[in-house]
Chains A and B, each alone.
Chain A
Amino acid sequence: MLQDLAAVDTHALAATAARYVGLLPLIPLAGFLVNGALSLIPAYTMGPGDPSAAGHDHDGAAAARAHAVDHAEQSGATGDDHHAVARHPYAAVASVVGPLVLVLSFALAVAIWLAMASAGEMRTPYVQRFFDWMVTGDLKIAWAFQVDQLSMIMVLVITGVGMLIHIFSIGYMGDDPGYPRFFAYLNLFVAFMLVLVLGASYPVVFVGWEGVGLCSYLLIGFWFSDKANAYAGKKAFIVNRIGDVGFLLGMFLLFANVGTLDFTGVAASASSLGYDSALVTTICLFFFLGCVGKSAQLPLYVWLPDAMAGPTPVSALIHAATMVTAGVYLIARSGFLFAMSPTACITVAVVGTLTALFAATIGLKQWDIKKVLAYSTISQLGYMFMGVGAGAYAAGMFHLVTHAFFKALLFLGSGSVIFAMHRAYHHTGSHEDAQDMRNMGGLRKYMPITFVLMWIATLSIAGVPPFSGFFSKDGILGAVFARAQHGALADATWLGMPGSAVLYVLYVLGLVTAFLTAIYMTRLMLYTFHGPNRTGEAEQAHLAEAPWSMTGPLVVLGVLSAAGGWLDLPAALPLGPVGVLEKWLDPVVGAATAAVAGSAGEAVTSTEYFLIGAAVVIAILGIVVAVARLKPALLVPKRDALPSHGFEHVLEEKYYVDEIYDDAIVRPLVSGSRNVLWTGIDRGIIDSLLVNGSAVLARGFGWIGSQLQSGETGAYAWAIAIGALAVLGAFTFR
């Protein structure tokens, strides 16, 4: 402990803003407390007030009441005031406190980042220890934060993007009766997310890891009067918990074999686990199980699409930009472990790629605009795992950052669209689905800013240069290709197959996914913004751009999505300083990357140009195919739509995975617990047979005894006499 303190005192960051790193999560936590206290003051009416909730079925009395009141107010409603009835009395306070804490956090994060930048290259992390958490025997876990290049990237993304989304929420959620509660949860989420990325040991990361799960649970079920939302929240938490078991077991194995859980400690003694040993592979796979849960990979991805039940800013912040990327962060953070196990690395890459492909196919046939984006998120997360699995930690993190930009933009843009759709339907009192793309179309005319920004994001995610997604996706695909050619992974075998062949297959599948990505994103844009409008005659008059408090953050994200690629330009395209992010991250992940990539140098430039060319062609081809094949003009509104058939229907129904899980796991578990364990074993065997059975047995013996007790004095007298004779006889004739 003393050594730690000494090291901290002499660290280059010791006297800078970094010493206030503890405040980073505390500021949003304070916001949570204020907003949480406000939220306990009840609003006038409770019930779902969000635009995107109106598309769902409201079967509850409260919801119905809210709607009834809405309609009653409607005649007197003026302008944008579409939920006048439900506004929280202290909404104004929450509007200030909620985003303000994020602004403060972001400012502090920038200050720390500037301090790091000016401190020159920093090879060791700055670890600040606050106080002991669990110290007993040889287990020593402290509350400690670790500031290094990797955690700062995450902190900047979380506070930066988080700040924009908080500002967006002021407009989006303004009329919801649970407005302060929303900001309370959102602030709490940011606090936990910062703990997750700043934690200096696995257990502290785990605090954030489960804490963000809690916030995700609360926010998905934010409009809890709707049964489906509450179920989705619960599902998210439980599925995440399955992954968390992996995280826990990984920690247990690590502690049992290394004796510490601090990142610095584990990194120092990781080599004692043995290169490519079964032990290190098991540890890595346990941690990866945690990532699979949190980052919605196969087979635990099922919670993320349902999580779209939450308000759209939540989808943007938690279920696209930050929380779901925690798995990628954890693997990058544990690079020193994964680099020791090629088997685990390839597993990560394989699962990531398969998820990317699988989710992209489902995304092709979804009608709910948020569902498309949800599957797209799963697919992009798959890309990130492909990257970190291939040992390209910088590339994976790069895609994480650019994805945070363009996916947040896509979600907030779709939020804008839903907001407009809902407002339009609200004015006419219609109960059409505000999130179904079949009810949209031609919105370009009504929402030009959102339209342009959404196209930037779409081109970015599709991988069209020079938008950010192109560079990050290319970085990942290039890394996979390079690893397939030479290095530790190429030489390894995975399930009996040569690693090199596996990685080539993954590369091809990555390209296929890129193609599909371009198609489904173009489809989303075509159906939403192009073609004729299908919203309805009366509604068209009310379709309009959202207020500037909402469009402003979109513009910022648009700039970032367009220019984010300059963060890490490949050497082959020297449009500016090359590989900034890679150099920045080098002290943290450089050694692990080198261990996986092997000693061989850069890929041959001609190959690199070929790879870039292939990616660009595929992306543009996807867009072209989509434009050529899809005819928005032929679409009909949702209510008139015919059911789909064949494979198309299977895709629309998401391969029936939810149904399979439900029938194969959930239902048997519940009915088995109820019928076998509870009524069968607990009440039947243990309680009825053994416990009450022995009571019945005792009572039976008692009954037999009581029958001797006839109450007839004469009988007793005979019994005494015979007994006395018997005793006498026994003494006499023995």
Chain B
Amino acid sequence: MHDFLAQINYDVWVLPALLLIPLAGTLLLLLTGAFSGDDGSLEAAPGARWIALVAFVLEFVVSMGLWWSYDPAGARWQATFDHWWIVPWNARLSMGIDGISLMMVLLTTVIMPLTVLGSWTSIRTKVRSYYALMLVLTTGMLGVFVARDMLFFYVMWEIMLVPMYFIIGIWGGERRIYASIKFFIYTTAGSLLMLVGILYLWNVSASPALGLGQTFDYDRLLGIAHTHKAALWLFGAFFLAFAVKVPMFPFHTWLPDAHTEAPTAGSVILAAIMLKMGTYGFLRFAIPLFPSAAMTPWVRSTILTLAVIGIIYGALVAMVQPDFKKLVAYSSVSHLGFVMLGIFALTVQSVQGAMIVMISHGISTGALFLLIGMLYERRHTRLIEAYGGIASVVPLFATLLVIVSFSSIGLPSTNGFVGEFLVLIGSFRTHPYFVLFATTGVIFAAAYLLWAIQRILFHALDKPENEHITDLNARELTMMAVLVAGIFWIGLYPQPILRRMETSSARFVQLVESGQASMRTAERGTR
């Protein structure tokens, strides 16, 4: 595999190719739309979804090479790509991956084909536009994960919002307009301050000593030492952008609406990938750029407190949701709380665990949303109370829902456990009391999901309209099979993933700790 990849110069072209393939697919969809003149309904344009599927599968195949080409012991940035962009500002199309980006990129390319399959029959109007938006969205998301230039990162960050805004607003549920506007304004409000922060960084980045002008280059910005006050303000600006995206309590209320109103694929993408942008942002930007601010005791304990509140609060609120999609949305708040706990606890295990939770939340919650979508397609309701006893009608569906739920609950031997366990055991070393509370989250996780699946699958089959729900078909089983395989693979043998992320996670911890230390010595020096 390595030889083959070297032979085709894989590392040189892979990242731009990953960004361009979806755009090519978009172009193809728009061209066929321009020349066909139909209304773009599923009946009129059945080929659109095939174009999207082929593009996403191609994307997946191309990205898989990264799994082998990435060398954990190698350079910090791999598969790098660098090209001029906006010359006067020194902004460049600068990309690269490390262990953390690698996993996020692969998660994206694995989930995206599944979302096409999940939309296969449920999206019936304007299908070309729909799939074109999905493809653009993919470019944006991958761009965020591979960007090494802050302006490039920011542009990609904002580009993601637009397709998702339309996906929710056009193909969403009844309150889709409210949800899409809320989603857009909430996240933009957060990210605009980040833009200010990025511009500030650009402004102070000139290095007369080296004869270099201002830059957006991540690695060079990383080396800048800020005064503590400036660092705090900058961290605050970045924090807001990422905390909204995570979403951390109390910035989470856009999520239940967006999740509930989005079409199935939209919910899956939101949960599986877009929420990870926030935590990725903390790992890549907010904390390493301003370690002294992020690790200021009061900042750190505030964020940890919010994370633990999120874990318990999300679970408790999830427990009482009448709408299954909302329940899963609040459960995301809870799961992402574990990620934040892991990141801010700052040990190798907790950061590795946070990464695993990010991946496995993508798989499990994505699977949950897909399953709800399948049920919704058949019965057109997401209310838990509309079901009951359907396990005897749809055994395959029931089996899969139970498996996925237990993975989300964190049953050992599934992915959910590995992530939560690593987060908790790692965090316990630095913050035992936070972990004491966070661990109780596993009780509530069991409570809300078991209660929900019990009311959907079990009890008597007492509603006649549920008696003729059809079980899953081959297409639905295919996508679930991929996710279930992921659930058990990560649950039983996460080592290949952990090994690839290890250096990057350790470097993150070490970078932040040394940044903190140097800040401390600097302060001591000035005193």
**Taking beta carbons and an 8 Å cutoff, which residues of A are in contact with B?**
36, 39-40, 42, 46-47, 58-63, 131-139, 143, 203, 206-207, 209-211, 214, 217-218, 221, 224-227, 230-231, 233-234, 237-238, 241-242, 244-245, 248-249, 251-253, 255-256, 669-670, 672-674, 677-678, 681-682, 686-687, 690-691, 695
Q: Give 20 A-B pairs besides A40-B396, A252-B439, A677-B320 with Cβ atoms closer than 8 angstroms.
A: A39-B395, A46-B392, A133-B493, A134-B495, A136-B505, A210-B417, A224-B391, A224-B454, A224-B459, A225-B389, A234-B451, A245-B442, A245-B443, A252-B428, A673-B317, A677-B313, A682-B253, A682-B317, A686-B250, A686-B253
Complex A-B: 15 CB contacts under 8 Å: A36-B399, A39-B395, A42-B392, A63-B460, A134-B494, A214-B411, A221-B458, A225-B389, A225-B460, A242-B443, A248-B424, A249-B435, A252-B425, A256-B429, A686-B253
Chain A hits for B462, CB < 8 A: 60-61
Residues of A within 8 A of B458 (CB): 221, 224-225, 227, 230
With A245-B439, A670-B320, A673-B320 known as contacts, the answer to whether A134 contacts B428 (CB < 8 A) is: no
The answer to whether A133 touches B494 (Cβ under 8 A) is: yes
Interchain CA distance A234-B417 in the complex, whole Å: 19
CB distance from B130 to the nearest CB of A (A): 28
Inter-chain contacts of B316 with A (CB < 8 A): 669, 672-673, 677
Task: Provide the residues of chain B in CB contact with A234, threshold 8 Å.
Answer: 450-451, 454
- Bound together, the chains give a CA A691 to CA B159 distance in angstroms of 23
Interchain CB contact under 8 A, A255 and B461: no
* Interfacial chain A residues near B411, Cβ < 8 Å: 210-211, 214
B428 touches A214 (CB 8 A): no
A139-B313 in contact (CB<8A) = no
Tell yes or no: B413 within 8 A of A by CB.
yes
How many angstroms from the CA of A39 to the CA of B398 in the assembled complex? 12
Q: CB within 8 A of A670: which of B319, B395, B492, B495? A: B319
Q: Which of B440-479 contact A (CB under 8 A)?
A: 440, 442-443, 446-447, 450-451, 454, 457-462
Bound-complex Cα distance A210 to B182 (A): 40
Residues of B within 8 A of A227 (CB): 458-460
**Are A678 and B429 CB-contacts (below 8 A) given A227-B460, A237-B446?**
no
B446 touches A241 (CB 8 A): yes
Binds A, one of B16-24, B44-52, B210-218, B345-353: B345-353
Q: B436 contacts the other chain (Cβ, under 8 Å)?
A: yes
Report the separation of the CA atoms of residues A136 and B500 in the bound assembly, to the nearest whole angstrom.
Answer: 11
Q: Are A691 and B395 in contact (CB under 8 A)?
A: no
Interface membership of B40, Cβ < 8 A: no
CB-CB under 8 A from B492, the residues of chain A are 133, 143
Complex CA gap A249/B457 in Å reads 32
B252: A residues at CB distance < 8 A = 686
User: Which residues does B use to contact A, with CB under 8 Å?
Assistant: 182, 185-186, 250, 252-254, 313, 316-317, 319-321, 347-349, 352, 389, 391-392, 395-396, 399, 402, 406, 411-413, 417-418, 421-422, 424-426, 428-429, 432, 435-436, 439-440, 442-443, 446-447, 450-451, 454, 457-462, 492-495, 498, 502, 505-506
CA A672 to CA B253, docked complex, whole Å: 19
B494 touching A251 by the CB < 8 A rule? Answer: no
Most chain-B Cβ atoms within 10 A of its Cβ — which of A218, A227, A241?
A: A241
A134 / chain B contacts, CB cutoff of 8 Å: 418, 421-422, 494-495, 498
> Which residues on the A side are within 8 Å of B395 (C-beta)?
39-40, 42
Quote the shortest CB–CB distance from B405 to chain A (angstroms): 11
CA A134 to CA B389, docked complex, whole Å: 38
A249 to B434: give the CA distance in the assembly, Å: 12
Query: Which residues on the A side are within 8 Å of B389 (C-beta)?
Result: 60, 62, 224-225
By beta carbon, the residue of chain B nearest A208 is: B412
- A131-B495, A230-B459, A245-B442 are contacts. A677–B435 as well, Cβ < 8 Å? no
- Select which of A139, A221, A225, A670 is within 8 A of B425 by beta carbon: A139
Q: Which residues of A contact B429 (CB under 8 A)?
A: 256
A233 to B429: give the CA distance in the assembly, Å.
35
Pick the contact of B413: A131, A207, A251, A695 (CB < 8 A): A207
Q: A238-B447, A677-B316, A682-B253 are in contact. Are A131 and B454 (CB under 8 A)?
A: no
B450 lies within 8 A of A237 (CB): yes
Interface contact A206-B424, CB-CB below 8 Å = no
Q: Given A210-B412, A256-B428, are A238 and B446 neighbors across the interface (CB < 8 Å)?
A: yes
- The contact of B347 among A47, A137, A238, by CB within 8 Å, is A137
B187 to chain A, nearest CB (A): 12
Let me know if A136 and B498 touch, CB within 8 A.
yes
Chain B CB within 10 Å, residue with most, of A137, A203, A211, A251: A137
7 closest cross-chain pairs (CB), A and B: A60-B460, A137-B348, A46-B392, A224-B458, A252-B428, A230-B458, A674-B320
Contacts of B439 in A (CB 8 A): 245, 248-249, 252
Which A residues lie within 8 Å of B506 (CB)?
Answer: 137
The minimal Cβ–Cβ distance linking A25 to chain B, given in whole angstroms, is: 11
Per the bound structure, the CA–CA distance linking A677 and B444 in Å amounts to 14
CB pair B253–A136 under 8 Å, yes or no, is: no
Closest to A39 in B: B395
* Residue among B349, B421, B494 making CB contact with A203, cutoff 8 Å: B421
Closest-by-CB residue of B relative to A674 is B320
Contacting residues, chain B, for A221 (C-beta < 8 A): 454, 458
Contact B413 A211 (CB under 8 A): yes
> How close is A265's CB to chain B, nearest CB, in angstroms?
15
CA distance A143 to B250 in the complex (A): 40
Contact of B443 among A63, A136, A217, A238 (CB under 8 A): A238
**A63→B348 CA distance, assembly (Å):** 53
- B424 and A62 contact, CB distance less than 8 A: no
Closest to B352 in A: A136
Bound-state Cα–Cα, A256 to B427, Å: 10
**Which partner residue on chain B sits nearest A131 by CB separation?**
B493
Across-interface contacts of B413 in A (CB, < 8 A) = 207, 211
A214, chain B: closest CB distance, angstroms: 6
How far is it, in angstroms, between the C-alpha of A55 and the C-alpha of B186 when the chains are bound?
Answer: 56
Whether A691 lies near B319 (C-beta < 8 A) is no
Q: What's the nearest-Cβ distance from chain B to residue A248, in Å?
A: 6
Q: Which of B413, B429, B505 has the most chain A CB within a 10 Å cutoff?
A: B413
Minimum CB–CB distance from A712 to chain B (whole Å) comes to 31
Query: Could you say which residues of chain A place their CB within 8 Å of the CB of B457?
Result: 224
Contact indicator B495/A673 (Cβ below 8 Å): no
A86 to B231, CA, bound (A): 70
Across the two chains, which residue of chain A brings its CB closest to B447? A238
**Cβ contacts under 8 Å, A59 to chain B:** 460
User: Which chain A positions have C-beta within 8 A of B498?
Assistant: 134-136
Asked whether, in the complex, the Cβ of B250 is within 8 Å of the Cβ of A241, the reply is no
How far is A46 from B493 in the complex, measured between Cα atoms in Å? 37
Taking CB as reference atom, which chain B residue is nearest A143? B492
Taking a contact as CB atoms under 8 Å apart, the answer to whether A245 and B425 are in contact is no
| Contact for B406 among A207, A214, A225, CB less than 8 A | A214
**Residues of B contacting A226 with CB < 8 Å?**
459-460
Q: How far is the CA of A237 from the CA of B444 in the complex (A)?
A: 11
In the bound complex, residues from chain A placing their C-beta under 8 Å from that of B424 are 248, 252
Complex Cα distance, B437 from A249, in Å, reads: 10
Nearest-CB residue, chain B, relative to A666 = B447
Residues of B within 8 Å of A672, CB to CB, are: 316
A616 to chain B, nearest CB (A): 44
* Residues of the B chain whose Cβ atoms lie less than 8 Å from the Cβ of A210: 411-412, 417
How far, in whole Å, are A233 and B446 apart by their CA atoms in the complex? 12
A544 to B433, CA, bound (A): 60
State in angstroms the CA–CA spacing of A551 and B487 once bound together: 42
- Residues of B within 8 Å of A674, CB to CB, are 320
Cα A133 to Cα B414 in complex, Å, equals: 12
Give bound CA distance, A515 to B331, whole Å: 50
> Which residues of the partner chain A approach B422 to less than 8 Å between Cβ atoms?
134, 136, 139
| B253 and A687 contact, CB distance less than 8 A | yes
B185, B406, B443, most chain A CB atoms within 10 A: B443
Specify which chain B residues have a CB less than 8 angstroms from the CB of A61 in the assembled complex: 460-462
CA distance A206 to B420 in the complex (A): 14
Bound-complex Cα distance A227 to B389 (A):
9
- Chain B residues with CB under 8 Å of A214's CB are 406, 411
